[in-house]
Amino acid sequence: EISLIGAENVFNSDQSSFNLEMHTGRTLSFKGQKKIGTLTQSTNSMTHSYTIQPIVSPCKSGYLQEKSLHFDNPVDHCFKNCEAICELLCNNIAVIRCAWCAKSLCIQDFFIVYHFCKEYVA
């Protein structure tokens, strides 16, 4: 229980994993082409990722004077502006958000039909 150890000894920790480059199963080539060349920053960036786990103590760092222990759920914080249903009118559950147009899309529309986005929303 928090009252036994004190709020100043409570830390918030969250693990995140990052890839330097995204790898997909798609490449564009001419029909019948046997060899397809691709470019990457480094071979290592295609096979390795890195993981960070920041640990935060808002009370000990002096960031907060009051000892509030309420933290937002990372999922709620990151995806609060996402739609639950695909925005391309198919009514499937949205599982991914386009980084260009910011539309929430289902697997069918993003990967299988291949959502080719021509608009960029900053």
What are the pLDDT digits (tens) for 43-102?
A: 666 666 777 777 766 666 565 566 555 666 666 666 667 778 888 888 888 888 887 888
3-state secondary structure of 19: strand
pTM exceeds 0.75 for this model: no
Please report, for the chain, the start and end positions of each structural domain, with discontinuous segments joined by +. Answer: 2-22+30-112
Do residues 106 and 86 make contact, with C-beta atoms less than 8 angstroms apart?
yes
φ, ψ of residue 65 to 5 degrees: the values are -85, -40
Lookup result for tokens 């790898």: 23
User: How many angstroms separate the CA atoms of 27 and 103, rounded?
Assistant: 23
